[in-house]
Amino acid sequence: MAELTKHTIRIRMYRVGFGDCFLISLPVGDDHAHVLVDCGVHSKGDIGTIKDAVTDALAEAKNKLAIVIATHAHQDHISGFARCDAQFRACEEVGEVWLPWTENPKDKTAARLKAKNLAMVEQLQLHFAASGAAPKAQFALMNIAGNEKALQLLKSGIKNGAVRYLEAGGELKDPGGIPGLNVKVLGPPRDPAFLAKMDPPAGERFLRMNGSQSEAANGVKPFLGKWLFTPGKSGAYPALEAHDRDSLGQLSGDPEALAFALDQAINNTSVVTLFSYQGKFLLLPGDAQYGNWNFWMGQEGSDALLAEVDFYKVGHHGSFNATPKKAVAKMTKGKFAAMASTQNVPWASIPLDKLVTAVEAQSGGFVRSDSIPVKNAPKGPALKKLPPGFSQGTFWFDYEIPC
Amino acid sequence: MPPVSKARPSNYKTPSTRPLVVYAFDPTAGRGLNNYMTVAVPYEDLQPGPIGSRLAVIDYDASNQCYYEPVNLDHPSVIMSGGLEPSESDPRFHQQMAYAVASETIRRFEFALGRRVKWRRKRGGRADDPVRTKLRIFPHAFQQANAFYDPDLRALCFGYFQASVDDPGDNLPNQTIFTCLSHDIIAHETTHAIIDGVREFFTKSTNVDTPAFHEAFADIVALLQHFSMQDAVLDTIDRTGGLIYKTQLPPEVAPTGDKAAIIPELSEDNPLVGLARQFGQAMGMRSALRSAIGTPPNTHDLDTVTEPHLRGSILVAAVFDAYFTVYIKRTRDLMRIARAGGAVNNQGDIHPDLAQRLAKEASKVAAQFMNICIRAIDYCPPVDITFGEFLRALITADSDLVPEDKLGYRGEIIKAFRLRGIIPEDVCSYSEEALRWCSPEVYGRPVPPCQGLTYDAVEAEADEDAERRARRARSNAAILTNYAKANAAGLGLTYTPNQEPNINAYSFHPIHRIAPDGRLVVDFVVEFLQMKKEPLDPADPQSPEMEFRGGSTVIFNRRGEVRYVVEKGIDSQRRLEAQREFLLQIGHGRPAAAYQDQFKIGGLNFAAIHRGY
C-alpha cells in the first residue's frame, strides 16, 4: 500500500464485491483533498467488506471529503451510503455531492423518468415473483430498487455539502475547493434524442400473485364480453394453429428484456467525468453504456480527450456493453493505467474476458479487484506481478500518478 | 347475422371499389380536420374477418387468449352505410379500418409498381391452410404499446395499451389506446410487409442504413398518404395560407391577452407533418412521434445518429424537403395571382377556391412523390442498401419514366439529399448523369444479351394458369442462373464452377413504363444473390458465423440487353468489415447482452427496434 505523498495523485480501489468504491486523493499543498467516487455493493455480490472500505476511506481522508460522486442510482454504486449512514454523517466536512441530473427532484423530466422507472420495477418484481425463474433479470431489478435511504443522504449533501446535479456539457473549475482541479462533465446528456436510452417503454402486461394463483396485474380487456367469438363455427375462419398462438404469445411481451432495459436505462444516467489535475487526466465513466459513450464520442475533440487519459476506471465492472472497443483503441497505448472493480458473481458473463484482455493489452498497467483474495469471496485470476505504479493493501489496490 | 348469398345475379356489374369509412388520423382528432374519411378499397370477394385474396384479418388476442367477432363487410346493413361508422368500442370497426388502410396502401404500391404485390415467401405451413398466401393482420394481437410487422409470422401485429396516467396528452389517463386505429401506424406496418416482399433481405441488418431505410420508407409512405388526402390537407392550407409544411398551425384568432383564453386562440400541431400522434401522446412522449420534418438540414447528423428511427428520419426529411419545394414551385403562380387580387402573403383564412386549388396541387405532388419513391424500390440493390444507393435508385427510376424533368423534381431531390450529407459512393458528382446507375459497358466489361426469357405483357388475372406460370418461372430462373454464371464478372458477381458462393436468380419481374413517344416499354428487373458464411470475429477461432450476402440487381430491356447493374460484390472486403463492425455495435446496444452468456445478433428484430414507439 502506498502512503500519500506530496507529488502523487493516488487512486485507491476497494474490493467490495460486485460494486464500486474508489477514493481519489489529490495533493494540495502539504495536504491532500479527497474525492469519493461511489460506494456500494450489490446484495447478491456482497463479500462483506463495504463497511471496512468506508472506515478506511474516511480514515485516509481524515473525515474530510472534498467531493462525493454518486455516478448513478444503483445499489452496487450507492448502497454503502445507506449502510454506513452514521459514519458518513459523522464526517467533519463534505464539500460537494454530485449526482446525475436525472436525480434532481426539481427537474420535471427527471421526476417523470424516475417515477416511471420505479413503478415498472415494482410491477416487474411482482411479475417475477408470480412467474418465477429469470434470476439474472431479478438481480438486475434488485439493483434499482430500495436505494431511497442512500439517495436521501446524498441529496441532503451528507454534511452540509453543496449538491450538484450534473449534465453533459458542463465544465467545473476548482470544484470542492480544490485549486487547479478541472472537471469536464461528459455525461449524462440532456439531449432529447438520448432521453429514449434512459426511458424504457411501458405498456406491457404483468403478472402478480393472487393467493396461490398468478393473474394479470394490469390486464386490459379491450372489449365487452359480447364481442367474444369462437372460431371454426360455420362460415367463420378456423382457429389459429398452436405454434402461431405461441409465437404471438412470445411477441406479446418480454418482461425479462424489460428488466434489463430498465437496468441499462439507469446505467446510462451515469455521471461521466474527466478529471484534469496538474496535467494528469482521469476518466471516470461510472457504468455508462454504449449509448452514453457514443453520444460524447460523437462530439468534436473527444479523440483528443481519450488520447490524454492517464487513468481509466473500467465501466460497468467490465461488461460487454460498457467499454466500446474504439474507445480503448483511442487511449494512448501504454500511457494509461486501468482498474476494474468486478467479480463474476452474481452474473457469470461479467466481466467479459475479451474486453478485460483488450484493456489490459492497451494499458500500461491493469488490475481487477477480484485478484485480491478475500475470505469466502469468489476468486478472480491471480495477479502475477503488480504493474508499475500499483501497490496492494489488505483489500484494495492503489495506483499512483506522479505529478 | 343473416346468411349472405355468394351467388350474385349475373346481370349486375361487379363494382370496382368498396367504400369503407376510416379515421384519416386517429380517434383523438375527433370529427374535426376531416378525420372521418371514406377509402375506396378495390373490390374483392370477402369472407368475414375480413379475409380477402391478399389480406386476412384475424382478431386473436394473445394476452387475453380469445378471439373477437369478425366483421362481415358483405352484410347488407354494412354495405348500405359504406362500412361501419367509426367506433373505438366495436372491434369490427377496428378490423374494417385495418383492412381498408392496408388495402389502400397495397393499392398505391401496385399502382406505382404496375404489378401485384407479393408477400415474403413462407416456408412450411399447412398446404390446406386457407390463409397461406395472405398477409395476416392481428388488430388486437396483445397488450403492448407497440405495433410491428413480423416476417416470421408474416403478419402485422397491432397492440393495445393503457394511456400513461400522469402524461396522457389528449387521452384520458388509463384510456385504452388501439394502435390499429392509427392510420399512420397501419400504413407504416403494411409498407414494411410490402418492402419485405420486394426486397426480402432488407430486413437483415447489415449496415447502419438498412434498418433505418426500412423505417424511413414506411414513414415516407405513411406521411405522403396524409398529403395525398385532399380534404385533410385543405384545413392546414386554410390555416397556414398554403404553407403545409409548418409544424404548428397558427390560432384561428390572435389571442387578445398575453396568453390564449379560448380554443380558437390556441395554436395546434400540424397533423400532417407528425406521425401517430395519439400513440406518442399516450406513451407520455409529448413531442410528436418520429417527426422528422422541421429540423434544419445539416451534414453531420448522419455521422452520429444510428438509432433506426432517428437515422431514418434524416432520409424522410430529405424526401419531404424535395416534396415541399416542388409544391411551392408549382403553386407560386397561384399565389402571385392571389396577391394581385389583394391577398396578403402567407396568412391564413385564404379564399376557398385558392385553398381548393392548393390542396389539389399538394395532393397531386404527394401522389407523384409516392410513385417516384415506390418505383425506386425496383432499382435498389438486392441486399445491404444505403441511403446513397436509394438516391441513385430514385434518380434512375424517375429519369427512365420521365426523361425530361421540366419541373425539376430530380434536381430538388438531389439537392435535399446533398444538404443532409447523404453521399452515394463511387460517384464523381451530384449531377443527375453521374447518379444514374450504369450499364456494364460503362464499367468496361460488356455482356451479351440474355436470350429466351418469357413473360406476359399483361398480367393474368385468374389462378387457373398457375401451373403454366410456375413452369415459366422455373425456366426463366434456369436461364438467368446460367446467364449469370457465364457473365458473372460483367454483372458484378463472383463465380467459379463447383465452388461457393453459388449464384441464385432470386426474383424476376417485368416493369412497365410509357416511353416519351407513347409506346409501352417493358423492362425486367432481376435479383441475383450470393451468400457465404464468415466468422464474426476473424481473430477468434470460436467466433460465431454470420451470413454475408452480396449480389446484383440487373435491369434488362425487352431484348435481354443489360441496361443497369446495381452491384453489391460479395468479395468486397470493405463491406465485410463494415458488417462485422455493425453487428458488434447492435450487440452493444442490447441491454441483456451484459448479463446473458449468449445472445443473438443478426436478423433484424422488428419487435426490439419498435419497442417504445
Q: pLDDT per residue over A229-255, tens digit each?
A: 998 877 788 888 898 999 898 888 778
Is A322 in CB contact (< 8 Å) with chain B? yes
* Contact residues for A10 (Cβ-Cβ < 8 A; gap 6+): A2, A4, A24, A25, A398, A399, A400, A401
Is the peptide bond between B403 and the residue preceding it cis, with omega within 30 degrees of 0? no
Is A116 in CB contact (< 8 Å) with chain B? yes
pLDDT bucket at B32, cuts 50 / 70 / 90: low
Asked whether residue B121 is domain-assigned, the answer is yes
Share of chain B above pLDDT 90, in %: 45
Asked whether residue B263 is domain-assigned, the answer is no
Mean pLDDT over B585-598 rounds to: 67
CB burial readout B168-198, b (16+ within 10 A) else e: bbebeeebbbbbbbbbbbbbbbbbbbbbbbb
- Looking at residue A234, what DSSP letter applies? T
Structural domain span for residue B44: 1-198
Using DSSP, state whether B18 is helix, strand or coil.
strand
- When comparing pLDDT for B201 and A201, which is higher? B201
The C-alpha of A158 sits at a distance from chain B's nearest C-alpha, in angstroms, of 32
Most confident of A291-295, B332-336, B393-397, B522-526: B393-397
Q: Note the pLDDT of residue A367.
A: 96
| Cα separation, B519 vs B530, whole angstroms | 36
Q: Note the pLDDT of residue B346.
A: 66
* Residue B429 buriedness (CB in 10 A; 0-12 / 13-18 / 19+): exposed
Write out chain B residues lying below 8 Å of A257, CB-based: 591-592, 608
Q: Encode pLDDT of B41-64 as tens digits.
A: 999 999 998 999 999 999 999 999
Asked whether residue B164 is domain-assigned, the answer is yes
Q: Cell numbers for B595, please give them.
A: 448479463
| DSSP strand pairing (B17-23 vs B60-61) | unpaired
Is A228 in CB contact (< 8 Å) with chain B? yes
Q: Note the pLDDT of residue B206.
A: 85
* Contact residues for B437 (Cβ-Cβ < 8 A; gap 6+): B379, B392, B393, B396, B555, B564, B565, B566
The C-alpha of A277 sits at a distance from chain B's nearest C-alpha, in angstroms, of 30
Asked whether residue B385 is domain-assigned, the answer is no
Question: Over 70: is that where the pLDDT of B295 sits?
Answer: no
Least confident of A192-196, B218-222, B417-421: A192-196
Write out chain A residues lying below 8 Å of B289, CB-based: none
* Contact residues for B322 (Cβ-Cβ < 8 A; gap 6+): B369, B409, B412, B413, B415, B416
Question: Over 90: is that where the pLDDT of B308 sits?
Answer: no
Question: Over 50: is that where the pLDDT of B497 sits?
Answer: yes
CB-nearest partner of B588 from A231, A245, A324: A324
Write out chain A residues lying below 8 Å of B145, CB-based: 201-204
- Check CB contact under 8 Å for B143 and A223: no
pLDDT bucket at B613, cuts 50 / 70 / 90: very low
| Cα separation, B109 vs B117, whole angstroms | 7
Q: Encode pLDDT of B211-221 as tens digits.
A: 899 989 999 99
| Cα separation, B338 vs B516, whole angstroms | 35
Q: What distance lies between CA A327 and its chain's CA centroid?
A: 18
Is A229 in CB contact (< 8 Å) with chain B? yes
- Check CB contact under 8 Å for B62 and A249: yes
Using DSSP, state whether B79 is helix, strand or coil.
helix
pLDDT bucket at B459, cuts 50 / 70 / 90: low
Q: Note the pLDDT of residue B606.
A: 44
Question: Over 50: is that where the pLDDT of B288 sits?
Answer: no
| Domain locations in chain A as residue ranges | 8-200+260-402
* Contact residues for A189 (Cβ-Cβ < 8 A; gap 6+): A167, A168, A169, A292, A295, A296
Q: Domain A8-200+260-402 sits in which CATH superfamily?
A: Ribonuclease Z/Hydroxyacylglutathione hydrolase-like (3.60.15.10)
* Contact residues for B103 (Cβ-Cβ < 8 A; gap 6+): B39, B41, B42, B52, B55
| DSSP strand pairing (A162-166 vs A93-100) | parallel
| Cα separation, A263 vs A121, whole angstroms | 10
Task: Find, in chain B, the residue whose alpha carbon is nearest to that of A324.
Answer: B588
The C-alpha of B114 sits at a distance from chain A's nearest C-alpha, in angstroms, of 31
Mean pLDDT over A11-19 rounds to: 97
Mean pLDDT over A5-31 rounds to: 95
Stated as kind and residue range, the H or E segment containing A148 is helix A148-155
Asked whether residue B190 is domain-assigned, the answer is yes
pLDDT bucket at B611, cuts 50 / 70 / 90: very low
Q: Note the pLDDT of residue A292.
A: 82
| Cα separation, B484 vs B478, whole angstroms | 10
Of B198, B228, B246, at which residue does a domain stop? Answer: B198
* Contact residues for B377 (Cβ-Cβ < 8 A; gap 6+): B113, B195, B198, B199, B217, B393
**Count of A–B CB contacts within 8 Å?**
188
The C-alpha of A301 sits at a distance from chain B's nearest C-alpha, in angstroms, of 14
Phi/psi of residue A112, nearest 5 degrees: -65, -45
Question: Over 70: is that where the pLDDT of A347 sits?
Answer: yes
Q: Residues B273, B284: contact at Cβ < 8 Å? A: no
Q: Note the pLDDT of residue B166.
A: 72
| Cα separation, A42 vs A53, whole angstroms | 15
| Cα separation, B57 vs B136, whole angstroms | 6
Stated as kind and residue range, the H or E segment containing A122 is helix A108-131
Question: Over 80: is that where the pLDDT of B268 sits?
Answer: no
Tell me the β-bridge partners of A93.
A64
Is the peptide bond between A188 and the residue preceding it cis, with omega within 30 degrees of 0? yes
- Check CB contact under 8 Å for A204 and B306: no
pLDDT bucket at B406, cuts 50 / 70 / 90: confident
Domain count, chain B: 2
Write out chain B residues lying below 8 Å of A199, CB-based: 612
- Check CB contact under 8 Å for A236 and B305: no
Write out chain A residues lying below 8 Å of B583, CB-based: none
Q: Cell numbers for B243, please give them.
A: 404553407
| Cα separation, B36 vs B21, whole angstroms | 7
Average pLDDT score, chain A: 90
CB-nearest partner of A237 from B70, B304, B540: B70
The C-alpha of B513 sits at a distance from chain A's nearest C-alpha, in angstroms, of 40
- When comparing pLDDT for B227 and B92, which is higher? B92
Mean pLDDT over B269-286 rounds to: 69
Q: Cell numbers for A28, please give them.
A: 494540495
Angle between helices B409-419 and B352-377 (to 10 degrees): 70
C-alpha distances (whole Å) from B279 to each of B88, B96, B97 are 14, 20, 16
| Cα separation, B72 vs A229, whole angstroms | 13
Question: CA quadruple A395, A396, A397, A403: dihedral positive or negative?
Answer: negative
* Contact residues for B319 (Cβ-Cβ < 8 A; gap 6+): B220, B369, B373, B413, B416
Q: Encode pLDDT of B423-434 as tens digits.
A: 898 888 999 999
- When comparing pLDDT for B484 and B604, which is higher? B484
Least confident of A98-112, A131-145, B71-85, B398-412: A131-145
The C-alpha of B94 sits at a distance from chain A's nearest C-alpha, in angstroms, of 11
Whose grid coordinates read 424511413?
Answer: B216
Query: Residue B192: which CATH number?
Result: 3.10.170
The C-alpha of B62 sits at a distance from chain A's nearest C-alpha, in angstroms, of 5
- Check CB contact under 8 Å for B89 and A224: yes
Q: First CA to last CA across chain A, in angstroms?
A: 19
- When comparing pLDDT for A66 and B161, which is higher? A66
For chain A, positions 245-274, list CB contacts with chain B under 8 A.
245, 247-249, 251-253, 256-257, 260-261, 263-264
| Cα separation, B571 vs A398, whole angstroms | 50
Phi/psi of residue B310, nearest 5 degrees: -70, -45
| Cα separation, B395 vs B115, whole angstroms | 21
C-alpha distances (whole Å) from B91 to each of A229, B58, B97 are 11, 11, 10
pLDDT bucket at B596, cuts 50 / 70 / 90: low
Mean pLDDT over B177-200 rounds to: 93
Asked whether residue B133 is domain-assigned, the answer is yes
Question: Over 50: is that where the pLDDT of B559 sits?
Answer: yes
Q: Encode pLDDT of A277-330 as tens digits.
A: 999 999 999 999 877 887 888 788 899 999 999 999 999 999 887 888 788 889
- Check CB contact under 8 Å for A236 and B63: no
Stated as kind and residue range, the H or E segment containing A272 is strand A272-277
pLDDT bucket at B176, cuts 50 / 70 / 90: very high
Task: Find, in chain A, the residue whose alpha carbon is nearest to that of B72.
Answer: A236
Q: What distance lies between CA B258 and its chain's CA centroid?
A: 44
pLDDT bucket at B610, cuts 50 / 70 / 90: very low
C-alpha distances (whole Å) from B305 to each of A194, A301, B167, B402 are 10, 18, 27, 34
- Looking at residue B181, what DSSP letter applies? G
The C-alpha of A91 sits at a distance from chain B's nearest C-alpha, in angstroms, of 37
pLDDT bucket at B458, cuts 50 / 70 / 90: low
pLDDT bucket at B263, cuts 50 / 70 / 90: confident
Q: Residues A144, A74: contact at Cβ < 8 Å? A: yes
Q: Note the pLDDT of residue B405.
A: 86
Phi/psi of residue A123, nearest 5 degrees: -60, -45
In terms of residues, how long is chain B? 613
Asked whether residue B135 is domain-assigned, the answer is yes
Radius of gyration of chain B (CA): 25
* Mutation target among B156, B310, B588 for the A interface, most CBs of A within 10 A: B588
Angle between helices B230-240 and B209-228 (to 10 degrees): 80
Write out chain B residues lying below 8 Å of A321, CB-based: 588-591, 593-594
Write out chain A residues lying below 8 Å of B95, CB-based: none
Write out chain B residues lying below 8 Å of A354, CB-based: 540
- Check CB contact under 8 Å for B585 and A322: no
Asked whether residue B232 is domain-assigned, the answer is no
Whose grid coordinates read 398446404?
Answer: B127
| Cα separation, B72 vs B2, whole angstroms | 10
The C-alpha of A122 sits at a distance from chain B's nearest C-alpha, in angstroms, of 16
Q: Residues B308, B214: contact at Cβ < 8 Å? A: yes
Q: Cell numbers for B296, please give them.
A: 434544419
Average pLDDT score, chain B: 84
- Check CB contact under 8 Å for B588 and A320: yes
- Looking at residue A21, what DSSP letter applies? E
